[in-house]
Amino acid sequence: MVSPELIRRYPFFAGLEHEHIVTLAGAADEVTVEEGHYFFREGEDLCCFYVVMEGAVAILVELPDQEAEQSLAGQLTGELHTREVVISTVGPGEVFAWSGIVPPHKATAIAKALTPCRVIAFDCKQLLKAFEEDHRFGYLMMQKAAQVIRDRLRDTRIQSLAYVAE
């Protein structure tokens, strides 16, 4: 558990009632990771969503490496040479792993610490249960998640255009 006052500092949680902030605090832990730590990879089940307190986290996707020679057999069997491409960078006060609270709760990208990081990790199972009990809380959090999704889609489109232009 973290202090409700810690959570209240972050703009993502603006507009939530005190009881919602207390619920979030009860489902949260502070976590420190080293540079290079992978929080998750695309397709993995997510049990947490995060707010960055310190440091920077890259949101990455794997794309075929245009510089590597790709065999036809490799393309047919899915054994492509890929590279990780940064589509977004998340810094202090920003949220990542929103998929943990949005069904089917699977990662849609990769998250990797670019620097040593301190994050708040929220237990999604606890939160989803709280959302079922308090639909207004769930609705407000889904609105906030939708804003993050909108921004990531924009970032992905911009990065995709840059990748194609290379």
Class of domain 4-126+133-165: mainly beta
**111-129 tens-digit pLDDT:** 999 999 999 999 999 999 9
Tell me what pLDDT residue 107 has: 96
**3-31 tens-digit pLDDT:** 999 999 999 999 999 999 999 999 999 99
Of the candidates 87, 86, 61, the residue with the CA atom closest to the CA atom of residue 157: 87
Give Cα 142 distance to the centre of its chain. 14
Residue ranges covered by each domain of the chain = 4-126+133-165
